[in-house]
Chains A and B, each alone.
Chain A
Amino acid sequence: AQSVTQLDSQVPVFEEAPVELRCNYSSSVSVYLFWYVQYPNQGLQLLLKYLSGSTLVKGINGFEAEFNKSQTSFHLRKPSVHISDTAEYFCAVSDKGTGGGADGLTFGKGTHLIIQP
Chain B
Amino acid sequence: DSGVTQTPKHLITATGQRVTLRCSPRSGDLSVYWYQQSLDQGLQFLIQYYNGEERAKGNILERFSAQQFPDLHSELNLSSLELGDSALYFCASSTGTAYNEQFFGPGTRLTVL
Contacts and interface: CB of A to CB of B under 8 A. Distances in A.
B33 A100 contact: no
Nearest to A44: B104
Interface residues of B, number: 32
A44 to B, nearest CB: 4
Chain A facing B: main interface SS: loop
Contacts, number: 71
A43 B97 contact: no
Interface residues of A, number: 25
B70 interface: no
A43 B106 CA distance: 4
Contacts of B97: 100-101
Interface stretch (B12-20, B40-48, B75-83): B40-48
B65 interface: no
A45 B104 contact: yes
Interface of A: 32, 34, 36, 42-46, 49, 51, 90, 94, 96, 99-110
The 8 closest A-B pairs by CB, nearest first: A104-B45, A101-B100, A107-B43, A44-B104, A43-B104, A43-B106, A94-B100, A99-B98
14 contacts: A36-B104, A43-B105, A43-B106, A45-B2, A45-B104, A101-B50, A101-B99, A103-B56, A104-B46, A104-B48, A105-B35, A105-B45, A107-B42, A109-B42
Interface of B: 2, 4, 31, 33, 35, 42-48, 50, 55-56, 58, 90, 92, 94-107
